[in-house]
Homo-oligomer: A and B are copies of this chain.
Amino acid sequence: MAAKKLRAVRWDKGVVYLLEQRVLPFQEKWVKCDTVERVAKAIEEMTVRGAPAIGITAAYGVAVGAMRSKAKTATAFEKEVEKAIARLRRTRPTAVNLFWALDRMAECLKAISVLSVAEQKRALVKEALLIHAEDEALCDRLGKHGSKLLAKAKNVLTHCNTGALATGGDGTALAAITHAARKNKKLHVWVDETRPYLQGARLTAYEVAHAGIDFHLITDNMAASLMKKKMVDAIIVGADRIVANGDTANKIGTYALAVMAKAHGIPFYVSAPTTTLDLTKKNGDSIEIEQRNPKEVTHPQGVPIAKESYPVYNPAFDVTPGSLITAIVLETGICRAPYQKSLRSALTAAQKESK
């Protein structure tokens, strides 16, 4: 428990360092990104992954470009930074946090155009550090609120990867676990491997081990029998999108856990920032589910387990009805049913804060 906090993205003297996630947990290799192109490639090639972590890395990428600039005039400098932003935008076309972070850096650049080049450089670095610090603080708030729900749990089950490797801080759902474990030394975690992409086996197990928390790795289909044997006290997962009635899109396999939690009387929690809320949608029926590459199923880690020609169904997400969710943890606090009301209040509170 005394281990140093895990961070996957670090800024040091004009350079971004990324923990190479493709070789985890077998190697702890830091990739030095001292040019915009190196940062862009690291995002493209998934050295860094997880929506918040990608956004933070992109912001640092702009800062790297700014610091390396040899421009003498503000106009030349701004052009260079804009070029860096454009390059970083082309890395991951569906990453919402990436665009959000780059938009914010672009806005910052506009706001500081009256300053000298040296001052502009400092301001852009400061903005990137702020984006990172804000995410770290957000994780802390999620962890603090979520940990209250796990205060008495001995065995907590989690799915997919929601920790330090995906964010700028301790994570979302996993932050609740790591924060709870600081007080509750007997906490034990069941880490679902999370097929098909194995985020649990490859990344979450590493995070939990790094935090010094007792855990066991399981395959996804073992969770139900653990619940039957009363070996699970609570389940907590992250979210990709939460709509007005609490219906939650998250990594495939989440819905199965929620159904089984209900059948066994086990609380099922979701933890995510308010930026995940999409209250324009009444319920989850209209959430479109992306079909991913069949090779994720037939070739885990690139190794064939079935013929490539076999037909595969590979939805990225499923939708868990709000009615199966005991509580939703947001940075503003804990929301319970009716979610139409509690999520609306939370979003209003978050918007007030950010003003």
A9 at the interface (CB under 8 A from B): no
Place the interface of chain A in its size category.
Answer: 35 or more
A111 at the interface (CB under 8 A from B): no
Contact, CB under 8 Å: A217 / B306: yes
Known contacts: A256-B256, A260-B259, A313-B216. The answer to whether A301 contacts B297 by CB under 8 A is: no
* Partner-binding segment picked from A35-43, A198-206, A265-273: A198-206
Q: Which residues of B contact A198 (CB under 8 A)?
A: 305
* Partner-binding segment picked from A166-174, A220-228, A238-246, A336-344: A220-228
A311 to chain B, nearest CB (A): 5
Report the Cα distance A300→B195, complex, angstroms: 12
The residue on B at minimum CB distance from A219 is B195
Contact, CB under 8 Å: A25 / B256: no
Report the Cα distance A228→B228, complex, angstroms: 22
Q: Which residues of B contact A312 (CB under 8 A)?
A: 216-218
Report the Cα distance A195→B225, complex, angstroms: 14
Contact, CB under 8 Å: A307 / B216: no
A318 at the interface (CB under 8 A from B): yes
Binding site for B on A (CB under 8 A): 25-26, 190, 192-196, 198, 201-202, 205-206, 209, 215-226, 228, 252-253, 255-256, 259-260, 262-263, 297-298, 300-301, 303-307, 310-315, 318-319
